[in-house]
Amino acid sequence: MIIAIFDGFRMGVVEGEEIVDVTDGLPHYDPGFSANFWVRMCQGFETIRSTFEILAREGQRKSLSQVHLEAPILNPSKIIAAAANYAAHVTEMRKRSGTQSWLNQFGVFLKAPSSIIGPGEPLILPNVPGREIHHESELALVIGKGGKHISEADAMDHVLGYTIAIDVTVRGEGDRSRRKSYDGFTPVGPWLVTADEISNPHDLDIKLWVDGDLKQEVNSSGMLVKIPAMIAYASDVMTLYPGDLISTGAPPGVGEIHPGETMVVEISKIGRLEIPIAGKKPKASPPV
């Protein structure tokens, strides 16, 4: 099932080129408190799946082109992101930074949930003189049932579904959480594809274009640390809550983005996320 949020926190089921508005039939749905509903839905999706299916059969259909999609995630308690998780990206970052140490071991870090924007929403670049701002196209997953110390064997039972994220990053020195947490630095979308639709998340093609030029292209089979290990690792550190987002790490080919350009990411079996870039061109001046 493909679940989308659209037109001011409406909930919809996507089928082909159409979306069915299921909002009014959902139990206890209150648009004023939609994040609460979302978290409950993530926690117990299997108990409400049949309601979605019935509503999707009976509800009003619209063409996707008639609606405005929003980020398919509401107020996650955290965004967890994997550090470089493809061998060729580890290599390119080592060349760039000249350091050998910081990528040698797998790790996860946090991004501010306030950095999330949805499909088509402009990413307004901050003014960071002397720094490059980079795109990182990533497969992301949404946690369903939360937990702590989740085993690798159980990990996939905690995945509600998959979406696309761009881990926008100010390159260079300084705290990583700050460099990746500016407003707009986590575009997510276009929707959530439930886990049952994707039998193998480690066989998805991930591509990113900037203004039509293909910049990143990888298959998720190349992940160094696979999703079950990532969930086990992260949940040993922090309790995973329903609705948390985990971004699985950048493929090679990261590069600079500029105002006026458009980023497009496609992941097979998920869809296409398009983000226009706005903002003033940073003045060239020495880093502070």
- Residue 187 CB, shortest distance to Mn ion, in Å, is 12
Report the residue closest to Mn ion, judged by CB: 167
- Residue 33 CB, shortest distance to Mn ion, in Å, is 32
| Residue 123 binds Mn ion, judged by CB under 5 A | no
> Judged by CB, which is closer to Mn ion: 6, or 233?
233
- DSSP letter for each residue of the chain: -EEEEETTTEEEEEETTEEEE-GGGSTT--GGGHHHHHHHHHHTHHHHHHHHHHHHHHSEEEEGGGS-EE-S--S-S-EEEES--BHHHHHHHHHHH--SSTTSS--EEEE-GGGEE-TT--EE----TT--EEE-EEEEEEESS-BSS--HHHHGGGEEEEEEEE--EE-SSS-HHHHT-STT-EEEEEEEEEGGG-S-TTS-EEEEEETTEEEEEEEGGGBSS-HHHHHHHHHHHS-B-TT-EEE--PPS--EE--TT-EEEEEETTTEEEEEEEESPPPPP----
| Residue 136 binds Mn ion, judged by CB under 5 A | yes
Give me the 145-184 binding string for Mn ion, x by CB under 5 A, dash otherwise.
----------------------x-----------------
> Judged by CB, which is closer to Mn ion: 55, or 250?
250
- Residue 205 CB, shortest distance to Mn ion, in Å, is 18
- Residue 167 CB, shortest distance to Mn ion, in Å, is 3
Position among 250, 267, 275, 277 found at the interface with Mn ion (CB under 5 A): 250
Which stretches of the chain bind Mn ion, using CB under 5 A?
136, 167, 250
